[in-house]
Structure 1
């Protein structure tokens, strides 16, 4: 069974559109010959980590976690609705922050039993994760570093700092917590998101949540080969 994790019921509903099912609590369903458990995690890294821990305790034989949802893009040229895959997850808020924009990760690990080479970064292998769960990751989907934040980036200056510091492709609010839970459990993790807005831009005329949500509807069929 693959855990299919979405932050909100709205995202989950769009992800499941072509399965013929709707989310109703934790919803277990078969699609394209694969066994899924669709779950709403709640918004933000704390909610996602708590929910992941609960799910893995209840379903210790889970084959992996797939995180689908919407995101912001650090590339102003990125098309709204485009699908992006996380090749690494970083939690930039785990550290010391100064008013001049300086940041420094803590010198100690988050978890005593899970030392990371970089304390706030998880390297991911999306192709290997997809294969191990019986999924098909299209080569045309771009991969890049994703930042997980507790509060979205609210201005271009902050966005520029994060882009320069982490060479980030996208910004989300749940990925790191879910990836960390999967790493601790020793199961694969795959994160694919659709772009809803440029990071740091608060002008809603440049957002398109509807397009990003509609684009989500093709992700699961493509990953499972049902769209072929």
Structure 2
């Protein structure tokens, strides 16, 4: 394919995840589908590859709804051009569930989970699937998750998507109880995964941990360290993406 992957970054900071990804991706490859902000990408030639692989980096915004809309716009534009994507990568920073995902570490999702999509009842939270409709999880390709983890040293586990960031120890504990394999919390992955699923394209989510999940303590945030980890991780990730073929799964 002319384009093989679209990487969706949060892009809400002066040096955001989109710039962190570009720092590793290298050469610019302009791409501006309607409704998104694009910053360029790279192709395989920049990394010694021979597949003509390219990476388009798009800042999708904050939250699952805007992320889904932006990713869907990019996927639709590429499909209409006759050059659909083979993979969507949702990349950014997030909170980590201690002690398994410490600040500065990298996490690759083996499940992308909508953690607060459902209903609150007298008995507790009920996911939308137990109400009889919808979905609350997407599974990235297991072989790709394994290869990415091996190449980058990332931890593997569920990454939770929330619309409201956790700010208390009680909610952090409740999320861990409901999702015992969860390593990280962020706000865009499930929206991006829904858009990818609608187009029949596999998804990968990668998060660099900038803060612990729990009480909000801005003094403990290490955003610069997380962005550096994301850049380093993408530098090791790109050859994996270039060598992976979704049709070999």
Offset at 1:22?
Answer: 6.7
Q: Deviations over 1:38-72 (max 9, x none)?
A: 10100100110111111111012111101111011
- Corresponding residue SS for 2:148: coil
Preserved CA contact (<8 Å) 2:64 2:187 = yes
**TM-score, length-scaled by structure 2:** 0.77
Flag the structure with higher helix content: 2
Which residue in 1 is equivalent to 2:8?
A: 5
Aligned to 2:199, which of 161, 175, 185?
Answer: 185
User: Structure 2, unaligned stretches of length 5 or more?
Assistant: 31-36, 241-249
| Aligned length, in residue pairs | 212
**TM-score, length-scaled by structure 1:** 0.84
- Corresponding residue SS for 1:138: helix
Aligned to 1:148, which of 148, 161, 175?
Answer: 161
Which residue in 1 is equivalent to 2:99?
A: 76
Which residue in 1 is equivalent to 2:58?
A: 39
Which residue in 2 is equivalent to 1:121?
A: 137
Provide the C-alpha distance between the structure 2 equivalents of 1:199 and 1:138, rounded to a whole number of angstroms.
Answer: 22
CA 1:17 to 1:208, structure 2 compared with 1: closer, same or farther past 3 Å?
same
Offset at 1:151?
Answer: 1.2
Higher relative contact order (CA 8 A, sep 6+): 1
User: Structure 1, unaligned stretches of length 5 or more?
Assistant: 111-118, 131-135
CA 1:128 to 1:215, structure 2 compared with 1: closer, same or farther past 3 Å?
closer
Q: Let me know the Cα RMSD of the aligned residues.
A: 2.3
Aligned to 1:89, which of 105, 109, 112?
Answer: 112
